[in-house]
Structure 1
Amino acid sequence: MIAFFTDWGNDSYYVGVCKAVMKSINKDVEIIDVLHETKKFDPKVNAYILHRFSKDFPEGTIFLSVIDAGVGSNRKPIIMKAKKRNFYFIAPDNGLLTLVAEEYGIDRLIEISNENYYFRKRYSTTFHGRDIFSPAAAYLSKGVPIEKLGNEIDIINLFRYKTPEIKNESIEGEVIFFDTFGNVQTNIPSELGETLFKKDDEVIVHFENKKFKAYYERVFSDVLPGELLIHPESSGFLEIAVNQGNAKELLNLDSEGVEIVLKKENY
């Protein structure tokens, strides 16, 4: 199975062409379109998204992830074979694999450099998704050994991020992305929330010298429509949401990467 993830959108032919290339190499391969409408050019935001959805895929999945503002530059096209779950991750070496590398461990790293396994030897400088990444995924799905696709490398690019922690009876973390409903996704594991908060606690959300009151709950309907809540979301992290509303707009958040502090109001 190939899990296909890009920032290309669905209003151009790029996704369809890459799937055609993969099918031309392995007509029996199953391709799952995970997401093609996401924040463009941003490997850090999309690293968090890749990390989240990877957990729900079966052992042996090949993750083809093309968030590649540096296409055609000296950044490497790579394959990471994970130590856990027999996962393969194919991506540009721009930090996109930071979190899955930490989650699953690195068994082997390959730079995709064997042109015999490219779609075209005279490959496009701006469409490596078609000519390099998609063929690599398809050949792996056919059982071609990873070492045939290129040369082994020792290291990949990883980005820094704020590690969530409990400090002074508060939880510190980071806003990592916004979903289509405007829910604010954080990198704070749900277990940290369960350590400090219990259901119906009033919690103050601090960021950028702003404060908002929310309730620590389990489901959206535990608060009234329009009220702010914090709850464990389906991937095991804390989410800030508004029942039948848009938390990103209510909190007036413009971008990801904002550091946040969650503290019980009565502390």
Structure 2
Amino acid sequence: MPDDRPFVSLATDFGAAYTAICAGVVHRIAPQATVLVLSDEVTPYAIAEGAMLLRQALPYLPVGVHVGIVDPGVGTPRRPVAVETGRGDVLVGPDNGLLVPAAEALGGVVRAHCLEEPEFRLPEVSTSFHGRDIFSPAAAHLARGVDIARLGPPAGDLLPLDVPAPVVRGGALTAAALYVDRFGSLILHARPDDLAAALGPLEYGTALRVTHPGGTLRATFEETYGSVTPGEPLLWVDSSGQLGLAVNQGSAAERTELRAGDTVTLRVDGKPDGDGAAGLAD
């Protein structure tokens, strides 16, 4: 960690007030630290959404201590952990898959420790606000230079993010929606190489058939939103390298009634399904 003005970031699903309390705890213990609230607007309980935010954002932030809290298992036996990465950052949060994608993006996990030592917690620990009582104090002490090993015993293997892997089969790509962004776009758990493996090289403008639990949507594979007219759907590659299903100046989530965790299947429009049946019209 840098010796002068260590950097701490916070990303939560708490909303502004509770996240500000966490920032206040960090400031009280490590008043010299620069504290950035990366986001307090992660969809409540949406672990995958929080994980993708951390993975996308942290490589662009200074090396430091990064707290991620999307923690529907708070108060249960799930473990609070600190994770040192190859770049030198330490990630702090629950062991529920939230931290793993970001750790991989920051050079991989070097070591991980459970947050068990009372010295590095608040004197009283609630059952429902570990962000205030465990995670923020640990982050502040790490920012002050405390070695990660002093926080508790080695954690061993961390739980992976619980999202189905993309499936390539029969000229089709099936992928889960990781989250819905604020524009209503569905960010998929698949990347361009998955699309190429399933459908072959695609030129921009290629018509696709998107099958989902509620029906079928026609979309084109495009480089930008503006490549289609307002109100038209498209598949594109977002700024983090994930495939996304969007509607130009509209909401793909509203159009399809899909939510995070739902799956879609992508095919080139006009080509038969794997069982030989041609796709139906909208």
TM-score of the alignment, normalized to the shorter chain, above 0.5: yes
The residue that corresponds to 1:5 in the other structure is 11
2:58 equivalent among 27, 31, 54:
54
* TM superposition shift of 1:38: 1.9
Q: Percent identity?
A: 28
Distance 2:46 2:230 in 1: 33
TM-score (norm 2): 0.85
* TM superposition shift of 1:210: 1.8
TM-score (norm 1): 0.90
Distance 2:219 2:252 in 1: 11
* TM superposition shift of 1:101: 4.7
Unaligned runs of 5+ in 2: 1-6, 272-282
* TM superposition shift of 1:243: 0.8
Unaligned runs of 5+ in 1: none
The residue that corresponds to 1:172 in the other structure is 174
Q: Which amino acid aligns with 2:215?
A: K
The reply on whether 1:114 has 2:137 as its aligned counterpart is no
Distance 1:190 1:66 in 2: 29
Does the CA contact (< 8 Å) of 1:197 and 1:264 recur in 2?
no
The residue that corresponds to 2:277 in the other structure is none
1:195-234 paired onto structure 2 within 5 Å: 195-208=200-213, 210-234=215-239
SS in 2 for 1:124: coil
User: C-alpha deviations, 1:41-90, integer Å up to 9, x for none?
Assistant: 232342233223233334x23220111222222222111112x3222111
Q: Which amino acid aligns with 1:122?
A: E
User: C-alpha deviations, 1:87-120, integer Å up to 9, x for none?
Assistant: 21111122323433554422111111111122x2
Does the CA contact (< 8 Å) of 1:79 and 1:112 recur in 2?
yes
Q: 1:149 to 1:38 in 2, by over 3 A?
A: same
The reply on whether 1:146 has 2:148 as its aligned counterpart is yes
* TM superposition shift of 1:179: 0.6
The residue that corresponds to 2:84 in the other structure is 81
Query: Aligned-residue CA RMSD in angstroms?
Result: 1.9
The residue that corresponds to 1:38 in the other structure is 42
2:74 equivalent among 54, 71, 78:
71
SS in 2 for 1:55: helix
Q: Which amino acid aligns with 2:65?
A: I
SS in 1 for 2:10: strand
User: C-alpha deviations, 1:133-168, integer Å up to 9, x for none?
Assistant: 101111111211111112212123224432224332
Distance 2:149 2:23 in 1: 23
SS in 1 for 2:60: coil
Aligned length: 261
